[in-house]
Structure 1
């Protein structure tokens, strides 16, 4: 079974696609989804890359760990997955929480990562009370209590109207997320402030911004791009889950970046 056993006793589920001899590319999912959020990207990426995607802790098939964890631990999870797969260096694409994970690995493990696409993400997401309220809501009432509000933030009104099947596909991923897994990752985001160390990152970075994203609004992406030397920036017409809402535009921006020499 494709689980990666981690050094702190947790496990994460991963899947591979594409050519094993091609350059590796890791995809890291958002809070409240699982690795299937990347289906439209894998369909294109597997022709040119060794695609590795995984479920963040407490999401998808990855069990909820017993102990609390930090964003730094989520970054370490990726590194330990690379160790298991004997991959010395990889490119990386993460969205929202996955993008936060990308900031951490670019900062803490620069030798293991080449290009990184940090999509619809932020280096800091206050206020803490908002996260505490979400943690309380899912702990007491389950994930269904948040589904409507999340999908409204994640997709524009036009997309929700015209693509209800896709919205429902993501809604099902949210419902299927273990409340304790969502709560644990929410606490890691609540306690995260990566802003002071952005300027230490020397990686080749693309920051992708959704022009209608209320969850990690454009100014959050601008701050990341402005503080990482040489970072590039792309704007896509989408709300928060741009890889799902605007897959053609997302893929064009991200894969043209990864395919550059």
Structure 2
């Protein structure tokens, strides 16, 4: 497995497509409690048009879970460090949930490195201390297996869970094996992040995707985010929080239509 030494930690990443070709780069960033495997439904199609770089956010998957605290500056800095290590000058970026929050930070503070952004199932301010403080505490005290029954039913509609038990099982397996301290530290990073003042300065072409049934990052928050970014497109999908999996084909087409239309 490829790793990059970035900001004093080891980040796990994968590249799909011809990494030595001339296609533009597309970076994919995972949601809280998942890893780079969440992008499996998109990889085959995305790699036809882009050199696709996906990575495990610190504290997730096979990346290290260093001691905290974690901040949005750490999360965005890890992406910039990975781009630097791989000698990627500029890239498109697509993130879901926490990955989308990372994308907002990148577009706001590292505009010279980001071409276009896709911000899915996210907001400039996600949740509240009433959500994140007990969530982090419960991860530490009870562990990820116990937490999974409270969190994962919010990721998908009940119809999807009933229809796709094997897919849901794979997602659950990743969640329960996420490092509990890494998860808790990322909860605290999200809780400490409010990028609403920075959003208005984003100049990159942006696509904001919401899920109609998303309770974690609501459609109202998605519309607010899109309205705050000049020229941003807004699309609402018939899904809950992890829309790239629940309505994978529609998500893939929506993102590709946006990115290809911008080239």
Q: TM-score range by the shorter chain?
A: over 0.9
Cα pair 1:128 1:190 within 8 Å, conserved: yes
In the aligned structure 1, how far is the partner of 2:4 from the partner of 2:108? Answer: 23
Cα pair 1:120 1:213 within 8 Å, conserved: yes
- How many residues matched? 260
Aligned pairs (5 A) from 1:194-205: 194-205=195-206
Q: TM-score, normalised by structure 1?
A: 0.97
Cα pair 1:211 1:217 within 8 Å, conserved: yes
Aligned pairs (5 A) from 1:171-182: 171-182=172-183
Cα pair 2:126 2:216 within 8 Å, conserved: no
Correspondence 1:56 to 2:50: no
Cα pair 2:127 2:216 within 8 Å, conserved: no
Cα pair 1:74 1:101 within 8 Å, conserved: yes
Residue 31 of structure 1: how far off its partner (Å):
0.1
What are the Cα deviations for residues 65-84 of structure 1, in whole angstroms up to 9, with x where unaligned? 12312012101110110001
Which residue in 2 is equivalent to 1:6?
6
Aligned pairs (5 A) from 1:141-152: 141-152=142-153
Which residue in 2 is equivalent to 1:127?
128
Which residue in 1 is equivalent to 2:80?
79
In the aligned structure 2, how far is the partner of 1:133 from the partner of 1:67? Answer: 17
Cα pair 1:19 1:48 within 8 Å, conserved: no
In the aligned structure 2, how far is the partner of 1:235 from the partner of 1:217? Answer: 10
Residue 169 of structure 1: how far off its partner (Å):
0.8
Which residue in 2 is equivalent to 1:249?
250
In the aligned structure 2, how far is the partner of 1:67 from the partner of 1:188? Answer: 9
Aligned pairs (5 A) from 1:3-42: 3-7=3-7, 9-20=8-19, 21=21, 22-42=23-43
Residue 107 of structure 1: how far off its partner (Å):
0.5
Q: Which moved more, 1:231-240 or 1:64-73?
A: 64-73
In the aligned structure 2, how far is the partner of 1:165 from the partner of 1:91? Answer: 31
In the aligned structure 2, how far is the partner of 1:183 from the partner of 1:218? Answer: 26
Which residue in 2 is equivalent to 1:217?
218
Q: Secondary structure at the match of 1:200?
A: coil
In the aligned structure 1, how far is the partner of 2:13 from the partner of 2:128? Answer: 32
Q: Secondary structure at the match of 1:63?
A: coil
Cα pair 2:46 2:52 within 8 Å, conserved: yes
Q: Secondary structure at the match of 1:59?
A: coil
Cα pair 1:143 1:177 within 8 Å, conserved: yes
Cα pair 1:19 1:47 within 8 Å, conserved: no
Q: Which runs of 5+ in 1 are unaligned?
A: none
Aligned pairs (5 A) from 1:96-135: 96-135=97-136
Cα pair 1:236 1:242 within 8 Å, conserved: yes
Q: Which moved more, 1:233-242 or 1:141-150?
A: 141-150
Residue 25 of structure 1: how far off its partner (Å):
0.4
Q: Which runs of 5+ in 2 are unaligned?
A: none
In the aligned structure 2, how far is the partner of 1:204 from the partner of 1:185? Answer: 27
Q: Secondary structure at the match of 2:257?
A: helix
Q: TM-score, normalised by structure 2?
A: 0.97
In the aligned structure 2, how far is the partner of 1:42 from the partner of 1:15? Answer: 11
Residue 126 of structure 1: how far off its partner (Å):
3.5
